[in-house]
Chain A
Amino acid sequence: MRTLGETAWLGSDSDQELVQRLLRRDEAAFARLVDTYHFRLLRLALPLVGSRSVAEETVQDTWLAILDGLAGFEGRCSLKTWMFHILLNRARSRAAKEGRSLPFSALGPAEEAPVEEPGRFTAAGMWAVPPSPWGVESPEALVLRGEAMECIEEVLARLPANQRAVVTLRDVEGLEAEEVRELLQLSESNQRVLLHRGRAKLRRALEERFGEAR
């Protein structure tokens, strides 16, 4: 029998309860899981595997692996993080089969350059071309401007894969630094550097789009 609670599990029920429902063949629960996570798995797969079609296949594989692994879910991390782990594993084995590795192991020399154009600073390191004010400076106001979201999506899609994966997991999905380090097998400092560079590029893109002439 369906209960009212079943439509609200995403917000209220624990991951363990949800897993129990899925194991009890609750199709509505699985449909909600797919509706909630399919796009998010795909969004994470894109920087990992490099092409849309491979990303789609990897996500399909991931769903099958999620079902096969469900009975073994122990709740040591959130269900979301667990699903992302499975995606990473699928992407890794796929990459290994194709004789490559996921693009996260090492940082390139480009990652040591300053994040802001040196020309924006005086010789003493003070702003010569300071950040220009945006017409809107709250996230709520930016969300209302569809162009801001488009701008963010475009720039995110063009970030180097490792920066894109870190920014997606940390800022889009809201995972903790520790979880992201573990998922992507990054050192603490590399995780931070990739996050920093990705965020800085996104801020700059918004500045270019919305900065007011001074």
Chain B
Amino acid sequence: MLTCQQVTELVTRYLEGQMEWRQRVAFRCHLAVCPHCRRYVRQMRVTIATLGKLPEEPPPPQVRKALLEHYRAWSGKGVREFE
């Protein structure tokens, strides 16, 4: 039988699908009887899913402008080579 502490160490291996089947069965059996560890694993999943929803910022206007100018110069160079 796994301990709760072992569950907290193995949870990533479990979520990554990197457990051999015996260990996976033991992990699932522990979750079946342990509401605290079920909550722990659920909170890990929620944490991971929330990380995927972090807000993003637009580029600073002066950086955007400079990059677009560089793109123009870069593509202009390409045209000269092409012609």
Minimum CB–CB distance from B58 to chain A (whole Å) comes to 6
Let me know if A116 and B8 touch, CB within 8 A: yes
Contact residues in A for B75 (Cβ distance below 8 Å):
25, 27
- Interface of B (DSSP majority class): helix
Interface string of A169-185 (1 = CB under 8 A from B): 00110100100000000
User: A25-B78, A125-B3, A192-B18 are contacts. A203–B58 as well, Cβ < 8 Å?
Assistant: no
**Chain B, Cβ-Cβ closest to A36:** B56
Instruction: Scan residues 4-24 of chain B and give those whose CB is less than 8 A from a CB of chain A.
Output: 4-6, 8-9, 11-13, 16, 18
**Chain B, Cβ-Cβ closest to A41:** B59
Minimum CB–CB distance from B68 to chain A (whole Å) comes to 6
Contact residues in B for A196 (Cβ distance below 8 Å):
9, 11-13
CA A146 to CA B47, docked complex, whole Å: 14
Count of A interface residues, CB-CB < 8 Å: 53
Let me know if B51 and A39 touch, CB within 8 A: no
Contact residues in B for A116 (Cβ distance below 8 Å):
5, 8
CA A63 to CA B70, docked complex, whole Å: 9
